[in-house]
């Protein structure tokens, strides 16, 4: 299992170590530049000091070498013991040198700073040329010494860092533990709850970084509670609606068994068939609603709207007084879509029209090549209920026949699943409802 605390610890330690390394590298580069400048200045001072002694005549050829070391300026880290001085005549004779200075010339005849390799070592040299005295004063030090000074400086910076890293790691680990305590408290509070407890987690006292997580959890709790409430409503409604036809089935079956009259028995059997049809439709609608709520969707395939509508019209029983017309133009509409979901839309709209009509006509047509229109001659829907009938289990006060209040809700949900739009309006030319499935919104 991945640990957030461990992950943050590793990230912070890596970032801290990287920043420290960059700081050491920066200081090393800057220190080398500054050290080069300081040591070059010391070379100039040493060369000018020796030259001033030569100008004063204090150093004679052959006896100057031992005293030259005492004239060199002092530098920390024992640097004064590494400076070497030579005095050369213009004719190439070594007039004097300090102790430790090589016999070979440290520099050529040019004046100023220069780098030269002598006996396998690289020297940084400053030369003063004095034409009056016919001498060249040369003072130099080894580049290797300068590198050692920089290394010692960097080591002095890195050593405390290495020693401090374990302590820094402990402090970071402890700080992360303290910082994650609000998250742990929220987790413990949620873990201690009962399975039925969907109360929101109070965001009071939680850091701003955790509040989005708390808000998401509270949103999830609200959705779960709404889903459970909906499930309870569906279960209660299904139990109520099924109880009526089942009671009717039992009553009619008892009448059929008890009556000696053939006509009464036949009427009871017909009522049993009607109750079975109502129950089967209700069960089918509940299953369709459950499938839509579960988000189940079929694969899109080429579907002929006209052929699908004719199958639905033939499968839905209707009284003899109801006429159904399907516009032949629908046969020319072929769309790549989920035919099962589209069938839910069309079937429920058609059943809704048949269910709430006693007699009249139902007409299916098409507008703009993508608007499927069904018009009936039923009672219509009052204007203040046009939005309410889209809700589940809502039954309008003008409904002419039995129903569960699910047909238009299923059509609305299935149309949304297709990416289409369902529009409902009362007909302007006569009594009845006009429903439009607009496929242009897909």
- pLDDT digit string, tens, across residues 346-404: 888 898 888 888 888 999 999 988 899 999 988 888 877 887 777 776 666 555 455 56
Which tokens hold the place of 32? Answer: 């080398």
- The predicted model scores a pTM of 0.47
Q: What is the pLDDT of residue 256?
A: 83
Q: Exposure string (b/e) for 288-323, b if CB count within 10 Å is 16 or more?
A: bbebbeeeeeeeeeebbbbebbbebbeeeebeeebe
Nearest Cα neighbor of 216 from 192, 239, 190, 237 is 190
Q: What is the pLDDT of residue 375?
A: 92
What pLDDT digit, counting tens, does each position of 210-242 carry?
A: 778 888 888 888 888 887 877 776 676 667 656
Query: For the residues 333-351, what does the mean pLDDT come to?
Result: 85
Q: What is the 3-state secondary structure (H, E, C) of 97-118?
A: ECCCCCCCCCCCCCCEEEEEEE
Q: What is the pLDDT of residue 373?
A: 93
Residue 85 has pLDDT above 90, yes or no: no
Ranked by mean pLDDT, the top range of 59-73, 187-201, 216-230 is: 216-230
Q: What is the pLDDT of residue 365?
A: 93
Q: Are strands 371-375 and 433-438 parallel, antiparallel or unpaired?
A: antiparallel
CA angle at residue 318 from 317 to 324, to 5 degrees?
110
What is the rounded (10 degree) CA torsion for 382, 386, 391, 397? 10
Of 57-66, 170-179, 283-292, the least confident? 57-66
DSSP state of 315: H
Neighbouring C-beta atoms of residue 362, cutoff 10 Å: 22
Query: For the residues 317-337, what does the mean pLDDT come to?
Result: 88
How far is Cα 274 from Cα 355, in angstroms, rounded to an integer? 12
Query: For the residues 258-275, what does the mean pLDDT come to?
Result: 83
If phi over 0 gives left and psi between -120 and 50 gives alpha, with beta otherwise, what is residue 392? Answer: beta
Query: For the residues 119-133, what does the mean pLDDT come to?
Result: 85
Residue 237, classified by CB atoms within 10 Å of its CB into exposed (0-12), middle (13-18) or buried (19+), is: middle
Nearest Cα neighbor of 426 from 388, 392, 375 is 375
Q: Which residues pair with 374 in a beta bridge?
A: 364, 435
């Amino acid at each position: 299992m991945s640990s957030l605390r461990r992950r943050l610890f590793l990230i912070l330690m890596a970032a801290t170590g990287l920043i420290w390394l960059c700081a050491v590298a920066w200081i090393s580069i800057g220190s080398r530049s500054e050290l080069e400048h300081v040591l070059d200045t010391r070379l100039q001072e040493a060369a000018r000091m020796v030259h001033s002694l030569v100008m004063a005549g204090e150093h004679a050829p052959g006896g100057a070498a031992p005293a030259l070391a005492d004239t060199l300026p002092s530098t920390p880290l024992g640097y004064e013991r590494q400076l070497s001085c030579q005095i050369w005549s213009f004719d190439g004779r070594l007039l004097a040198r300090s102790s430790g200075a090589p016999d070979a010339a440290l520099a050529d005849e040019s004046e100023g700073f220069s780098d030269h390799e002598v006996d396998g070592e690289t020297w940084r040299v400053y030369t003063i040329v004095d034409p009056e005295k016919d001498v060249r004063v040369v003072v130099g030090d080894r580049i290797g010494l300068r590198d050692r000074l920089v290394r010692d400086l960097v080591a002095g910076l890195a050593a405390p860092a290495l020693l401090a890293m374990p302590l820094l790691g402990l402090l970071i680990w402890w700080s992360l533990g303290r910082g994650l305590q609000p998250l742990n408290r929220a987790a413990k509070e949620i873990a201690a709850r009962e399975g039925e407890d969907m109360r929101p987690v109070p965001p009071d006292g939680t850091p701003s970084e955790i509040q989005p997580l708390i808000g998401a959890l509270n949103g999830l709790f609200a959705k779960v509670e709404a889903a459970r409430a909906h499930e309870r409503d569906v279960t209660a409604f299904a139990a109520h609606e099924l109880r009526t036809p089942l009671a009717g089935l039992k009553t009619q079956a008892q009448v059929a068994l008890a009556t000696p009259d053939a006509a009464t028995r036949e009427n009871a059997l017909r009522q049993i068939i009607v109750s079975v049809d109502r129950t089967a439709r209700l069960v089918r609608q509940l299953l369709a609603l459950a499938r839509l709520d579960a988000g189940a969707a079929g694969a899109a395939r080429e579907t002929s709207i006209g052929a699908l509508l004719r199958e639905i019209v033939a499968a839905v029983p209707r009284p003899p007084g109801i006429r159904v017309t399907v516009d032949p133009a629908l046969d020319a509409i072929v769309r790549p879509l989920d035919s099962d979901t589209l069938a839910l839309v069309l079937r429920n709209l058609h059943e809704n029209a048949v269910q709430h009509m006693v007699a009249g006509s139902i007409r299916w047509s098409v507008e703009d090549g993508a608007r499927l229109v069904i018009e009936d001659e039923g009672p219509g829907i009052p204007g203040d209920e046009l939005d309410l009938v889209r809700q589940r289990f809502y039954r309008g006060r003008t409904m002419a026949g039995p129903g569960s209040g699910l047909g238009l809700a299923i059509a609305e949900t299935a149309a949304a699943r297709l990416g289409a739009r369902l529009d409902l309006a009362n007909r302007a030319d006569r009594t009845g409802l006009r429903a439009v499935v607009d496929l242009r919104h897909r």
